[in-house]
Homo-oligomer: A and B are copies of this chain.
Amino acid sequence: MFAIIMAGGSGTRFWPLSREKMPKQLLNICGDDTLIQQTVGRILPLIDRDNVFIVTNQALADDINSQLKEKFGGSWDNSFIIEPEARNTALAIGLAALHFERIDPDSTMAVLSADHAIQRGEAFLDLLRMAGETAQNDYLVTLGIVPTRPETGYGYIKAGKELIARSSSQTTNGSKPTAHGGVYRVDAFVEKPDRATAETYLAKGGYFWNSGMFVWKTKTLLQEIEKHAPALHNGLVEIRNNIGTDRESDTVREVFKKLQPLSIDYAVMEKTGRAAVIPADIGWSDVGSWTALDDVVVRDRSGNIKTGNVIDMGCSDSIIYAEKRLVAAIGLKDMVVVDTPDATLVCPKEQAQEVKAVVAELKKKNAEEHLTHRTVHRQWGSYTVLETGDRYKIKRIVVHPGAKLSHQMHHHRSEHWVVVAGTARVTSGDKIYNVHTNESTYIPISAKHRLENPGKVPLQIIEVQNGEYLGEDDIVRFDDDYKRHENNKRRPLPEVKKSS
């Protein structure tokens, strides 16, 4: 089985912890691992790591790559399918299907989300296996989450006739499709209901939350796309005809530009006669807002979820997130407080969805607090903006052992580097020299320079920039371990591999 993990989501709902360039899938909001690390880790017992692919944009691919490398080791460089732009799920899934088709025309593929939480991972894998078997009979199988409340924020799947009975080891409830397991035909996909309708669904049973997780044979999917979504099919054919050629990345870009953004639900699932649903009671959450944490994180006796340097004086049922800075919360009830190095959010839980409006407002104001964090992670390490002043900027830069930044030059700034931990190897003009802890060096304006950690412990330097313009885009790259000097070119589809 192959897996395609949809990881293109942008970070608005968990602002200010999530940012456009640091969306939810990259955050460890429930558990030590980030959501993408959890998603990949969860399926590795079932799916070979070479068969796991992530579809996302170029910027996020680098960060996800770093996180997967950190968690699972090895290289993930060939595990990405890059969307030139976000075009909803149908096209991204179709593109992945083309890829899997080349590797193995008889492959089965699972479509998963990078940023969902699943508490019962083993039960989930059992269902994936069951879905894989069902898919062999040319079904488009989806996991329908057994609802636990009359939720109005999700679409529902109405289950029909039973296709395969639940195994005897599972709790059974007659033939009524309300519990975990079993395979049913899909009667209908229904839109997000109002409260009353949602309550009826919950009472009647046989309705499941649409989780956006699918399993099918690659071939079945492509056939059903051809049947129900002709424009998408034509676009995919165009890509298929150019795959592996010089025209490949241009073709992908053109097709993405040309096609209407469609969800796979709309393009195929709602139209096909081959849809099947497996009820799943697996502790699933799409972690769609701050308040969703209540479902996936253990709360304290007063119902609070607290992280970091928090003083709590009589708070209850609140989410209070701090980092190093202190947050003192007195008498809060059903509130969300999220404190990050450059922005703080305070709102009642029932209005937590409105952070989207804050993000929109920040975009309109050309602010930066929706875009990046003060700490930005790179494959070579990270940098944190400590202060931005008039004609100067201060950064803390951490470089992983053995890593190096690009060979670069700035037109508008000089840089003072003070090493506070480890040893730096510095290239400045023609010279290469080492700078040790408690030593400093100076990179003049326009000097070609490079920073490298030749040692065995992380290198930390404090950089003081001086100049008339201090934007991140004042950088000319000559050579880069991470190929960013070639960033005018799109990364092509991964090389064709034979599945093991």
A: residues with CB less than 8 A from B are 15-16, 311, 313-314, 322, 325-332, 335, 337, 339, 341-348, 350-352, 354-355, 357-358, 361-362, 367, 369, 386-387, 389-392, 394, 396, 414, 416, 418, 420-421, 437-438, 440, 442, 460, 462, 464, 466
Checking B16, B335, B344, B464 against A420 with a beta-carbon cut-off of 8 angstroms, the contacting residue is B464
Quick one: closest B residue to A332, CB to CB?
B346
- In the bound complex, how far is the Cα of B345 from the Cα of A141, in angstroms? 50
Query: B351–A330 contact, CB under 8 A?
Result: yes
Q: Are A389 and B464 in contact (CB-based, < 8 A)?
A: no
Could you list 13 examples of A-B contacts with CB < 8 Å? A313-B361, A328-B358, A329-B345, A330-B352, A330-B354, A330-B355, A335-B346, A344-B344, A392-B462, A414-B438, A416-B418, A418-B418, A440-B464
Question: Judging by beta carbons under 8 Å apart, are B420 and A392 in contact?
Answer: yes
Counting chain B CB atoms within 10 Å of each CB, the highest count among A313, A329, A462 belongs to A462
Partner of A326, one of B313, B343, B386, B392: B343
> Across the two chains, which residue of chain B brings its CB closest to A466?
B438
CB within 8 A of A330: which of B325, B348, B367, B389? B348
Classify the secondary structure of A's interface with B: strand
A445 closest partner in B (C-beta)? B438
> Which residues of chain B are within 8 angstroms of A438 by Cβ–Cβ distance?
414, 466
A386, B389: Cβ atoms closer than 8 Å: no
- A330 shortest CB reach to chain B, Å: 4
Which residues in B have their C-beta under 8 angstroms from that of A332? Answer: 346-348
For A338, give the chain B residue with the smallest CB separation: B328
Residues of chain B within 8 A (CB-CB) of A342 are 325-326
Nearest first, the 4 A-B pairs at minimum CB distance are A330-B347, A392-B420, A326-B343, A438-B466
Known: A416-B418, A418-B464. 11 other contacts (CB 8 A): A15-B328, A313-B347, A313-B351, A327-B343, A329-B347, A330-B345, A335-B346, A386-B386, A389-B421, A392-B460, A420-B464
Given the known interface contacts A331-B347, A460-B389, the answer about A466 and B442 at a Cβ–Cβ threshold of 8 Å is no
State in angstroms the CA–CA spacing of A327 and B369 once bound together: 10
A328 to B337, CA, bound (A): 10
Q: How far is the CB of A362 from chain B (nearest CB, A)?
A: 7
Q: If A326-B344, A392-B421 touch, does A361 touch B466 (CB 8 Å cutoff)?
A: no
What residues on B are CB-neighbors of A357 within 8 Å? Answer: 313, 330
Least Cβ–Cβ distance between A193 and chain B, in angstroms: 25
A346: chain B residues within 8 A (beta carbon):
327-330, 332, 335, 337, 346
**CB-CB < 8 A to A420: which residues of B?**
389, 391-392, 464, 466
CA distance A358 to B332 in the complex (A): 14
B contact residues around A421 at 8 Å (CB): 389-392
How distant is A149 from chain B, measured CB to nearest CB, in Å?
A: 23
- Chain B contacts for A387, CB-based, 8 A: 386, 396
A394 touches B389 (CB 8 A): no
CA distance A261 to B354 in the complex (A): 53
